[in-house]
């Protein structure tokens, strides 16, 4: 019995030439797959972090622009609180310039180019809502005044601003009307 076993072991042929080749390919393929998964995960994390930093930088830039506008914002809100002042072109233009700037900022928010949470903490998101409310109120007063003045025509292009204000109000219907 022992002789038979020894004969079988002695006659056993070496593995076929392709077995080491197949094992090498399998281990290389496994290594490539694991390495690719790890690389993809870290790349995704790095891109997400870089994107977040870009949005934060953009939000700080927008906030800086907004702070530079503070002196003119007092004038804008004074005009909105006294709608008859909007009959003068320079006053109306000041209000429209601010509305256009808010529209541009709202478009950036809509395309997620700016960190919304950071702008919210700074109060700019709330100021959008205040502006739209005051503008709509002033437009209503001027539309029913004698002589009537329809300033809602100017705000027709402020669609992104209306969307952001509506989003901020939790999906409530926004009073801002577009033409």
The neighbour count for residue 127, using CB atoms within 10 Å, is 17
Q: Which residues of 27-51 are buried (b: 16+ CB within 10 A; e: fewer)?
A: eeeeeeeeeeeeeeeeeeeeeeeee
Largest CA distance in the chain: 121
Say if CB 151 and CB 92 are below 8 A apart.
yes
- DSSP H helical segments within the chain, as ranges? 2-11, 18-68, 70-81, 89-110, 116-122, 124-144, 159-168
pTM recorded for the entire structure:
0.69
Give the rounded distance of the alpha carbon of 71 from its chain centre: 28
Model confidence over 83-116: pLDDT tens digits? 999 999 999 999 999 999 999 999 999 998 888 8
Provide, rounded to the nearest whole percent, the portion of the chain with pLDDT above 70: 88
Model confidence over 19-40: pLDDT tens digits? 777 788 888 888 898 888 999 8
Say if CB 113 and CB 58 are below 8 A apart.
yes
Confidence bin at 179 (pLDDT 50/70/90):
very low
Contacts of 3 (CB under 8 A, 6+ apart): none
Rg (CA), the chain: 33
């Amino acid at each position: 019995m022992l002789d038979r076993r020894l004969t079988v072991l002695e006659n056993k042929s070496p593995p076929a030439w392709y077995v080491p080749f197949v094992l090498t390919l399998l281990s290389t393929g496994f290594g490539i797959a694991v390495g690719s998964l790890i690389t993809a995960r870290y790349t995704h994390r790095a891109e997400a972090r870089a994107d977040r930093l870009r949005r934060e930088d953009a939000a700080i830039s927008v906030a800086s622009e907004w702070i530079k506008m503070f002196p003119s914002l007092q004038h804008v809100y004074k005009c909105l609180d006294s709608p008859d002042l909007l009959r003068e072109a320079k006053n109306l233009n000041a209000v429209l310039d601010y509305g256009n700037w808010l529209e541009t900022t709202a478009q950036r928010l809509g395309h997620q180019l700016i960190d919304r949470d950071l702008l919210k903490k700074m109060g700019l998101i709330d100021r959008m809502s205040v502006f739209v409310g005051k503008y709509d109120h002033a437009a209503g007063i001027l539309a029913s005044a004698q002589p009537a003045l329809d300033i809602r025509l100017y705000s027709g292009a402020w669609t992104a601003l209306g969307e952001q204000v509506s989003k901020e109000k939790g999906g409530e219907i926004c009073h801002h009307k577009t033409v």
